[in-house]
Amino acid sequence: SYYPLTGMSKEVQQKLIDDHFLFKEGDRFLQAANACRYWPAGRGIYHNDNKTFLVWVNEEDHLRIISMQMGGDLGQVFRRLTSAVNEIEKRIPFSHHDRLGFLTFCPTNLGTTVRASVHIKLPKLAANREKLEEVAGKYNLQVRGTRGEHTEAEGGIYDISNKRRMGLTEFQAVKEMQDGILELIKMEKEM
Question: Could you tell me which residues come within 8 angstroms of residue 63 by beta carbon, excluding any fewer than 6 positions away?
Answer: 55, 56, 57, 88, 92
Q: Are 141 and 165 in contact (CB under 8 A)?
A: no
> Is 1 assigned to a binding site?
no
Q: Binding residue per annotation — 155?
A: no
Whether 145 has a binding-site annotation, put simply, is yes
Return the beta strands (E) in the chain as ranges: 2-4, 44-47, 53-57, 63-67, 96-97, 101-102, 117-121, 141-144, 157-162
Tell me whether residue 129 is annotated as binding.
no
Is 96 annotated as belonging to a binding site? no
- Is 127 annotated for ligand binding? no
**Does the annotation list 130 as a binding residue?**
no
Q: Is 174 annotated as a binding residue?
A: no
87 is in an annotated binding site: no
Specify binding-site residues. Answer: 20, 64, 115-119, 144-149
Specify binding-site residues for ATP. Answer: 20, 64, 115-119, 144-149
